[in-house]
Amino acid sequence: MSHDFYYNDGYGAAPRRRSLLLWLLDGAVAVASALLAVLMVVVFAVPRLHPVYTWALPVLGLVAPAIYVATVLAALYWILRWRLKRAAVVLVPVLLGAFSVSLFWRPEVRRSYPTERYPRSTIRCMSYNVRNLYSDGGGSNADRIAALIEELAPEIVCLQEYAHHVAVRSERFMRLFDRYETAHFGLPGGGLPAQAILSKYRILRSGVITTPESSVWADLLVGEDTVRVVNNHLQSTGITALDNAYITRYEYLADTAREEKLRSIVGRIHRNCELRADQVDSIRAHIDSLAPRYRIVCGDFNDTPVSYTYRRMARDLNDAFSECGHGYSHTFRGFFNALRIDYILSSDDFETLSYEVPDTLTASDHLPLFVRLKKRLTYN
């Protein structure tokens, strides 16, 4: 009988030895798992620490979703290998991080259609960083932005990087002022990018929270209630178009000066994180002191959901994406289309009915947010 074939009935058989390749793979995944577990713990801490104390750690907020997915894959590997103790090392941070998944991704429980009917009392809100009303090619985009506003017909429009001197050259944009009350801020001749709030409701009063006009507000009379709308454009990340290309096109792989360039990018990200943190502390103090009960806080925060900025701003407020979004949402064109840095938040007195990010292609480097809210009924 040939000995090339061996029948094993399973009794008393010695365990097979791992191949060298599998042994090396287990070792590599073990090291990666330990590193990912540590990174997950650090990611949990980032939103709770002022950036002045964390130096490069805020950068982890940019890649937090990738770290989480990698940790899930590591846990699955050890489960399939039936190494449950090793799986537990990465499963614990995975389970803890699951509570924050809705900040980045939400399953589509039911499909919504454009013809879906909403109550007549629905308040449609739009927030959009319009990049001074200029397109990728450098020409005026005011007509296109005005057409989008006309199509969506929101009752409340919050614009960031709004250039009034460009808007007034567009007849179509100027016609919007016949339909909306407006509160725009900034220098009459253009100057620094400013903010604007357009409202089909009566604007009772308006003002500035932080200067130069990075955060502004307006009180709107909605029915018998006063709604405070806060429109924000916080400190930029400091990442230029050249930086974005350097990272997304992997130019650093062949660059001998990459260490210096990457250090410069990280340094700018950190410095601007500190500035945003100071801004959001001032804005949060304003929000906490509000007399009006109804609050809508929106704009370009220039920070991800895993950040001190977002955690402070969103405290006691509902994120429209976490309430009604679906899939993975990004609001910035760049950095692999992976960043959600624009938000519409509202107080508990509003119910979020829908969340949309219309694709406007080259209209701006940001995408607009369009949200439907409804005031909750209260009884005295």
Q: What's the confidence (pLDDT) of residue 5?
A: 45
Q: What's the confidence (pLDDT) of residue 285?
A: 92
Q: What is the DSSP letter of 377?
A: P
The one-letter code for the residue type at 201 is Y
Provide the pLDDT confidence category of residue 180 given band limits of 50, 70 and 90.
Answer: very high
Provide the pLDDT confidence category of residue 170 given band limits of 50, 70 and 90.
Answer: very high
Provide the pLDDT confidence category of residue 310 given band limits of 50, 70 and 90.
Answer: very high
Is it the case that residue 210 has pLDDT exceeding 70? yes
pTM metric for this prediction? 0.87
Provide the pLDDT confidence category of residue 193 given band limits of 50, 70 and 90.
Answer: low
Distance CA 309, CA 347 (A): 18
Is it the case that residue 37 has pLDDT exceeding 50? yes
- Half-sphere exposure at residue 227, Cβ-oriented, CA atoms within 13 angstroms: 29
Instruction: Write out pLDDT tens, residues 269-296.
Output: 888 898 999 999 999 999 998 876 799 9
Distance CA 331, CA 342 (A): 6
Q: Give me 348's structure tokens.
A: 């508990």
Q: What's the confidence (pLDDT) of residue 239?
A: 78
Q: What's the confidence (pLDDT) of residue 290?
A: 81
3-class state of residue 159 by DSSP? strand
User: Do you know the residue count of the chain?
Assistant: 380
Q: What's the confidence (pLDDT) of residue 109?
A: 58
Q: What's the confidence (pLDDT) of residue 57?
A: 72
Distance CA 217, CA 64 (A): 31
Q: What's the confidence (pLDDT) of residue 55?
A: 66
- The helix-helix angle for 60-80 and 84-97 (nearest 10°) equals 140
N-terminal to C-terminal alpha carbon distance within the chain = 92
CB neighbour list of residue 369: distance below 8 Å, 6 or more residues apart? 125, 126, 127, 128, 298, 320, 331, 342, 343, 344, 355, 356, 357
Are the C-beta atoms of 266 and 56 separated by less than 8 Å? yes
Q: What's the confidence (pLDDT) of residue 233?
A: 94
**Which residue segments constitute the domains of the chain, with CATH numbers given?**
20-103 (no CATH), 123-375 (3.60.10.10)
Q: Give me 206's structure tokens.
A: 């308006």
54 vs 255, more confident: 255
Instruction: Write out pLDDT tens, residues 344-362.
Output: 999 999 999 999 999 887 7
Residue among 116, 169, 121, 120 nearest 145 (CA) = 169
3-class state of residue 98 by DSSP? helix
Mean of the per-residue pLDDT values of the chain: 86
Distance CA 182, CA 201 (A): 10
Provide the pLDDT confidence category of residue 52 given band limits of 50, 70 and 90.
Answer: confident
Tell me which of 36-45, 146-155, 318-327 is least confident. Answer: 36-45
Is it the case that residue 4 has pLDDT exceeding 50? no
Instruction: Write out pLDDT tens, residues 110-165.
Output: 545 455 788 888 999 999 999 999 988 888 999 999 999 999 999 999 999 999 88
Q: Which DSSP string do the residues of 31-90 spell out, in sequence order?
A: HHHHHHHHHHHHHHHGGGS-GGGTTTGGGHHHHHHHHHHHHHHHHHHHHHTT-HHHHHHH
Provide the pLDDT confidence category of residue 243 given band limits of 50, 70 and 90.
Answer: confident
Within its chain, how far is the Cα of 43 from the centroid? 16
Q: What's the confidence (pLDDT) of residue 15?
A: 55
Q: What's the confidence (pLDDT) of residue 252?
A: 79
Is it the case that residue 17 has pLDDT exceeding 80? no
Q: What's the confidence (pLDDT) of residue 264?
A: 82
Q: What's the confidence (pLDDT) of residue 181?
A: 95
Is it the case that residue 213 has pLDDT exceeding 80? no
13 vs 96, more confident: 96
- 56-81 burial code (b ≥16 CB/10 A, e <16): ebbebbbbbbebbebbbebbebbeee
Q: What's the confidence (pLDDT) of residue 191?
A: 53
Please report, rounded to a whole number, the percentage of residues in the chain having pLDDT higher than 70: 88
